[in-house]
A and B are shown apart, each in its own frame.
Chain A
Amino acid sequence: MNYKALIFVLIATFINTSGQLLFKLASRSVTWNPVTWVNMHLILALALYFISALLIVTALKYGELSLVYPLIATGFIWVALLSKIIFDEPLTFGKLSGILLIVFGSCVLNKTPSKLNKIKIAKIKARSDCGR
C-alpha cells in the first residue's frame, strides 16, 4: 500500500466532489445566453477541477492506476450522499445500486492483470509485432 498515492488521491477526490456540487449550483443560472456562463460558481468549479487533475497526476506518479482510479470512482458515492443532504435529491435503492455497480465496474476495469495474464498479453503483443 502506497500512502503517498492514497493521500493525494483522497484529497483529489474531495476537491473533485466539491467541484461537482459547484457545477450543479452553476447549472441553475446558465441559459443559452453565453454571458450567463461567466459566473463565479462555474469558474471556481473549473479551478477545482484543474487542481484535482494535477493531484491525480501526482498520485499516479506514486501509485498504481488500479489503486488510484477506483478511489476516484468512490466520488460518485460522495456526490450522491452530499446531493441528498444539500440539494434534497432522492437517494433510492435503484440509484444507489447503480452507483455501486459503476464503482465496482471501474475497479474491475482498472484491475492490474495478474502475472499469468501479463505473460499472455506480452505473448499477444509479440505476435502482433511479428505480423507487422
Chain B
Amino acid sequence: MNDVMLAYGSIILGTLINGFAALLLKRGAKDFKLRALLHNRFVISGFCLYLFSTAFFVSAMKSLPLSIVYPLSSLSYVWVVVLSCFALGEHVGMNKWIGLTIILLGIMLLSNW
C-alpha cells in the first residue's frame, strides 16, 4: 500500500514537472532558432525537466501497472492549462475547462480501479 501511495505521489510530481517543462519550452519558442538550439537556455532546461520527469514515471511503474501510469500522465494536460492560465495569462476558453473536467473524472475513475 505504501509503495502504491508513493507511486501516485511521484506521478503527481512528475506531471507537475512536465507542466513546468512545457512552460519553459513555450518561453524558449519565442526566439527559437534550430542553429542556436544549444544557446537557448529555456529550451535546453525544458528538455532537461522532461527527462527528469520520466524518472518519476518509471519509478511509478515499478509498483503500479503500466495501463494505469500511462493514462495518468494526462494529468500534465491539466497542469499545463492551469499554468498557462495563471503564469502566462493565456485565455482559457470554456471548452478547455470542460475538457479538463472530463479528464479529471477519467483520472479519478482510473486511480480507484
Contacts and interface: CB of A to CB of B under 8 A. Distances in A.
What class of interface size applies to chain B in its complex with A?
35 or more
B66 A24 contact: yes
Interface string B96-109: 10111111111111
Contacts of A92: 113
Contact of A83 (B51, B66, B99): B66
Contacts of A84: 67
Interface in A68-98: 73, 75-76, 79-80, 83-84, 87, 89-92, 94-95, 97-98
What class of interface size applies to chain A in its complex with B?
35 or more
24 contacts: A23-B54, A23-B57, A23-B61, A24-B61, A27-B62, A28-B62, A37-B55, A79-B70, A80-B70, A91-B67, A94-B109, A95-B113, A98-B110, A98-B113, A99-B106, A101-B105, A102-B107, A105-B100, A105-B102, A107-B99, A108-B98, A109-B81, A111-B95, A117-B95
Interface of B: 51, 54-55, 57-59, 61-62, 65-68, 70-71, 74, 77, 81, 91, 93, 95-96, 98-110, 112-113
